[in-house]
A and B are shown apart, each in its own frame.
Chain A
Amino acid sequence: MKLLTHNLLSSHVRGVGPRGFPLRLEATEVRVIPVEFNPDFVARMIPKVEWAALLEAADHLRLAEVPKGPTQGYEQDETFLRKMHHVLLEVEVVEGTLQCPESGRVFPITRGIPNMLLNEEETQT
């Protein structure tokens, strides 16, 4: 699971609503998988990123050199873009957990795949 993916994930435990974001990330196995750098692609991703959630997740993974936010003229800032590329796309959580900040419910990440299924009781509307 990439951090870009984590940035989109939210708990859908019943009753939690927007307080289910972001999920608290813990990892027992992390891998770095090189991905071809595409500056335009990364630049377009930047506006979609929820920064606080990204920083929190990166912090839990003890990543260094994570930009605190978009810099002025970031679209042309290759250093910035490369760092963001690395953080968003190259860091893979292979084994770990995602925890709902509101309900405490834990979702596992196994072999890089988050399992976000809830029991029927947890989802009944």
Chain B
Amino acid sequence: MDHEAAQLEKQHVHDVYESTARYLSDLQGKAWPRVRQFLQDQEPGSLIADIGCGTGKYLKVNSQVHSLGCDYCGPLVEIARSRGCEVMVCDNLNLPFRDQGFDAIISIGVIHHFSTKQRRIRAIKEMARVLVPGGQLMIYVWAMEQKNRHFEKQDVLVPWNRALCSRLLCESSQPGRRKPCGHLERSHPYHPPCSVCSCSVCFKERRDSKRSHSLDYEPVRARTCCANISKDAGEGNGFCNTLGKSFRSWFCSRSLDESSLRKQIERVRPLKNTDGWATSTISIQPSRHSSLDRDPQEPFSTREPSSDEDVFVESSQKHLEWLRAPAPGKHLRGDPQGETGRSGGGDGLGSARSPEEGAAAGALGEGKPSVRRPLRRISTVDSTDSIPDDTIPVEGQQPDVLDSRAFMRYYHVFREGELCGLLRENVSELHILSSGNDHGNWCIIAEKKETCG
């Protein structure tokens, strides 16, 4: 069981982050305010650990404390290191620390990547172990209950759609165009070649660059193009909101806590092998993920009817109406397999929003009707863009070219009360101080009890 769990996580957490790190780094949203506050509330001179620190966005929030970042993903840690953070590569399940070393720990958007309950408990217990008595732990996990949408199941696979985000980046960086949010883009006289971008021009350049583990080349170029984007996102435009929407395509995965898991794992493969997918309990619509979320209000598109694997839930009539209405004057590229008559023939619009992606979105007031408009505009692809599912013309393709079908990330989204219940029943060394919901995440602050060792 544990081996299968580890395999699932390797394939749908670790390998994905590893491959997407260089792109993710510039696209992550800003830090969650409540997490920042938690860090700033810590005593000066405290030792803090960020377990699952990613690119280290929380590591410099408070200059009066000493923060140590840890992540399983080497490339992400390298990025954090390049920003001057003290970081290391390690496993949440086996933290390489002596007992009771840290005054505070944060775990933001991490626990939901563990595929079994036991592993989630183990991860939390490990963090409790390395906390001093009286020390505090803050945990953020994705909530199953989202404001305008609904996960049908708790165990989901969320695709990474690089082509989506690269298209967004391209469009956003063109001078004079309106950005997704409707704000006028400031002009960029020079559009530097973007390593992330899938425009035909840029692709040539990208193809030429070698894959390397050095961050010198690619990320610099990515940053040039993307920097404006993430900066703009920080200013509250719709970009990250839009991007967050695109990431909300998701598919159901069977929980590894259920039986008959072995078959499940065998079928967990890059999606070229759609036959395998179709017969497994992981529901995938291959052609789906190319299109962008059309509207944050609308949870899911309907899919072609599939046997017993209808994972998407339509939660409103409004949604259906939207689906049937044609896109405003533009050809919908979402689905080459004949759904062109339908707008939004796109992917499931789950709200699998990670804290980092959702931060900006949340701050922008996710779910506001005004966001609808910009999304339609952005999803209209001009004819030079190819549908991501099609073979993007990248000859000599590096193994890490992000394909719209690959890089699905596993999440166990939490029900209300589940995280609290987990701690109460299984981690007696922690005492819950507070819990709540923050922009689609269940969060908890717990304290290490004094009497426990």
Q: A12-B96, A21-B98, A111-B81 are in contact. Are A44 and B89 (CB under 8 A)?
A: no
For B45, give the chain A residue with the smallest CB separation.
Answer: A44
B86 and A2 form a contact (CB under 8 A): yes
User: Which of B43, B68, B74, B91 is the one whose CB lies under 8 Å from A8?
Assistant: B68
Stretch touching chain B among A24-32, A54-62, A63-71, A116-124: A116-124
B45 and A40 form a contact (CB under 8 A): yes
For B88, give the chain A residue with the smallest CB separation.
Answer: A114
For B130, give the chain A residue with the smallest CB separation.
Answer: A8
Interface residues of A in 1-31 (CB under 8 A from B): 1-2, 4-5, 8-12, 18, 21
A10 and B88 form a contact (CB under 8 A): no
Query: Most chain-A Cβ atoms within 10 A of its Cβ — which of B64, B72, B94?
Result: B94
User: Which of A10, A40, A48, A112 is the one whose CB lies under 8 Å from B96?
Assistant: A10
Report which A residues bind B (CB closer than 8 A).
1-2, 4-5, 8-12, 18, 21, 38, 40-41, 43-45, 48, 50, 89, 107, 111-118, 120, 123-124
3 nearest A-B residue pairs (beta carbon): A44-B45, A116-B96, A116-B90
User: Which of A5, A9, A113 is the one whose CB lies under 8 Å from B81?
Assistant: A113
| 18 A-B contacts (beta carbon < 8 Å) | A1-B88, A4-B66, A9-B98, A10-B96, A10-B97, A10-B98, A12-B94, A40-B44, A41-B64, A45-B47, A45-B66, A113-B88, A115-B90, A116-B90, A116-B96, A118-B91, A120-B3, A123-B93
What separation, in Å, do the CA atoms of A89 and B43 have in the docked complex? 18
Interface SS majority for chain B = mixed
B97 and A45 form a contact (CB under 8 A): no
Hey, which chain B residues are within 8 Å of A124, CB to CB? 2
Hey, which chain A residues are within 8 Å of B91, CB to CB? 116-118, 123
A120 and B97 form a contact (CB under 8 A): no
Sort chain B's interface into a size bin: 20 to 34
Hey, which chain B residues are within 8 Å of A123, CB to CB? 91, 93-94
Digitize B1-30: 1 where CB-to-A-CB distance is under 8 Å, 0 elsewhere: 011001000000000000000000000000
What separation, in Å, do the CA atoms of A43 and B45 have in the docked complex? 8
> Would you call B78 an interface residue if the criterion is a C-beta within 8 Å of the partner chain's C-beta atoms?
yes
> Would you call B87 an interface residue if the criterion is a C-beta within 8 Å of the partner chain's C-beta atoms?
yes
Nearest CB of chain A from residue B51's CB, rounded to whole Å: 12
Nearest CB of chain B from residue A110's CB, rounded to whole Å: 9
A113 and B77 form a contact (CB under 8 A): yes
User: Which of A10, A41, A111, A115 is the one whose CB lies under 8 Å from B45?
Assistant: A41
Interface residues of B in 36-81 (CB under 8 A from A): 43-47, 64, 66, 68, 72, 74, 77-78, 81
For B214, give the chain A residue with the smallest CB separation.
Answer: A111
Nearest CB of chain A from residue B254's CB, rounded to whole Å: 22
User: Which of A8, A89, A120 is the one whose CB lies under 8 Å from B6?
Assistant: A120
For A124, give the chain B residue with the smallest CB separation.
Answer: B2
B72 and A117 form a contact (CB under 8 A): yes
> Would you call B134 an interface residue if the criterion is a C-beta within 8 Å of the partner chain's C-beta atoms?
no
> Would you call B101 an interface residue if the criterion is a C-beta within 8 Å of the partner chain's C-beta atoms?
yes
What separation, in Å, do the CA atoms of A120 and B99 have in the docked complex? 22
Hey, which chain B residues are within 8 Å of A43, CB to CB? 45
B44 and A8 form a contact (CB under 8 A): no
Hey, which chain B residues are within 8 Å of A21, CB to CB? 98
> Would you call B423 an interface residue if the criterion is a C-beta within 8 Å of the partner chain's C-beta atoms?
no
> Would you call B95 an interface residue if the criterion is a C-beta within 8 Å of the partner chain's C-beta atoms?
yes
